[in-house]
């Protein structure tokens, strides 16, 4: 995933380059969400498939495609040459929009199949954008900006979709309409990505060179840190499940909390607050020059996130939090471990150990199992609790995930602290 390093003078250097990278990555991935998430703002009432509500079927089908994409991306993203990233990104999103148009043209419930084909290309976009940002002295700040995009975009594109519904756009055409609105912006941000220079020599010295990986190299890296990676991936899978439930069923959760008719803007504002705080916090970790210290700081922040989830869940039934406050604090708690993995943990692991490779492989390894877990939870929920209120299910899952994540992260930290590669980094 690396570009050839360079020290050639550029009109975009230092913080100017950092701002350019953040805007380009944030904007490109924000636009991707306009092709993925707007359909969740609709209810799709009146249609069922095998006893399941149609919206649940749509979420499962799209996530299944997205999950398959993550497994494909383990190879495709980790092996992608830098020169092909932008063209691949635009081609993938074009395929996703075509699938949304076909979703609008095909009568339900058969149109659900098109959301599967919508999810397959979109799952690889994140890794392509990440390739422009990793291996730099300020990668955490750049990645925090990228991650803020999917926190904020999730709510904003729902708000756009909900607004189009109030203006008379049909539920089945609304997703394609939202995507079409964002095409011009996508082209602008894709061009900005193409102008980002390769990491400088000083970046390589500080963070290690990032290179495409072969299958042999991927296998060797996993075996080298197997137990620690398994603990991280399991914790990340659980957080991915909770984050996805909170995102895809936001209207149902808000209604369950007592907000009977949430305004379109409520989705955007709650996520904006969470995204802003998380972006600042993890962006600041780029100021920690020592790779080992930054790595373990990120694990500590992930553990703090589990504790915040417990606080929010405990305060809600006591009436100490409003629905808005609960959604913000729970969101902050679950995004701390989620964003720690995206911005810092894998980035500093490679920087610290000097292993040959890229974070695209590690991220897609974690994401593939994260979305596999989400599909399993969606299917099992509709077998065990079909038609039940969504909020009790969501709160119960939140308790389990918050506690289990905390339990997993403690031995994970102990494993990496004792690993020979970490001890060499300390010296």
Rounded Cα–Cα distance for residues 354 and 184 (Å): 40
Residue 13, CA atoms < 13 Å, CB-side half-sphere: 8
Q: Domain extents for the chain?
A: 14-426
pLDDT at 4 over 50: no
CATH architecture of 14-426: Up-down Bundle (1.20)
pLDDT at 260: 61
* Average pLDDT rounded to a whole number, residues 317-341: 92
Query: Bridge-partner residues for 53, per DSSP?
Result: 48
Place 7 in a pLDDT band, splitting at 50, 70 and 90.
very low
Residue predicted with more confidence, 395 or 8: 395
Residue 285: alpha-carbon gap to chain centroid? 19
- For the ranges 155-164, 174-183, 327-336, the one whose mean pLDDT is highest: 174-183
pLDDT, tens digit (0-9, with 9 covering 90-100), for 15-39? 889 999 999 999 999 999 999 999 9
pLDDT at 251 over 70: yes
Place 58 in a pLDDT band, splitting at 50, 70 and 90.
very high
Residue 159, CA atoms < 13 Å, CB-side half-sphere: 15
pLDDT at 298 over 90: yes
pLDDT at 163: 93
pLDDT, tens digit (0-9, with 9 covering 90-100), for 212-246? 999 999 999 999 999 999 999 999 999 999 998 88
* Average pLDDT rounded to a whole number, residues 334-358: 93
| pTM (predicted TM-score) | 0.85
């Amino acid at each position: 995933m690396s570009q050839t390093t360079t020290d050639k003078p550029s009109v975009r250097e230092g913080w100017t380059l950092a701002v350019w990278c953040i805007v380009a990555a944030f904007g490109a991935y924000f636009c991707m969400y306009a092709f993925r998430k707007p359909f969740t703002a609709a209810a799709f009432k009146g249609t069922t498939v095998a006893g399941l509500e149609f919206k649940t079927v749509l979420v499962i089908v799209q996530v299944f495609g997205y999950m398959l994409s993550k497994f494909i991306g383990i190879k495709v993203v980790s092996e992608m040459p830098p020169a092909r990233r932008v063209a691949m990104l635009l081609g993938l999103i074009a395929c996703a929009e075509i699938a949304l148009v076909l979703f609008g043209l095909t009568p339900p419930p058969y149109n659900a199949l098109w959301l599967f084909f919508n999810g397959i290309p979109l799952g690889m976009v994140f890794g392509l954008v990440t390739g422009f940002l990793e291996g730099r002295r300020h990668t955490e700040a750049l990645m925090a900006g990228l991650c803020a995009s999917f926190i904020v975009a999730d709510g904003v594109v729902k708000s756009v979709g909900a607004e189009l519904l109030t203006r008379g756009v049909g539920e089945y055409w609304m997703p394609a309409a939202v995507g079409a609105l964002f095409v011009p912006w996508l082209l602008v941000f894709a061009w900005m990505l193409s102008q980002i220079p390769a990491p400088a020599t000083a970046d390589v010295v500080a963070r290690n060179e990032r290179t495409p990986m072969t299958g042999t190299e991927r296998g060797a890296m996993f075996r080298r840190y197997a137990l620690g990676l398994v603990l991280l991936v399991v914790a990340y899978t659980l957080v991915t499940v909770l984050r996805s439930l909170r995102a895809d069923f936001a209207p149902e959760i808000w209604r369950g909390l007592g907000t009977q008719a949430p305004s379109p803007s409520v989705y955007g504002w709650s996520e904006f607050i969470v995204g802003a705080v998380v972006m600042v916090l993890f962006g600041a970790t780029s100021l920690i020059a020592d790779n080992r210290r930054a790595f373990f700081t990120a694990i500590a922040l992930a553990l703090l996130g589990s504790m915040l989830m417990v606080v929010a869940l405990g305060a809600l039934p006591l009436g100490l939090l409003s629905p808005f406050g609960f959604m913000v604090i729970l969101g902050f708690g679950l995004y701390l471990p989620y964003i720690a993995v995206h911005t810092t943990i894998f980035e500093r692991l490679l920087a610290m150990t000097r292993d040959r490779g890229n974070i695209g492989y590690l991220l897609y390894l974690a994401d593939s199992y994260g979305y596999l877990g989400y599909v399993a939870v969606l299917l099992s929920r509709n077998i065990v609790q079909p038609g039940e209120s969504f909020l009790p299910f969501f709160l119960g899952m939140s308790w389990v995930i918050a506690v289990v994540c905390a339990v997993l992260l403690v031995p994970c930290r102990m494993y990496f602290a004792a690993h020979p590669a970490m001890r060499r980094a300390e010296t």
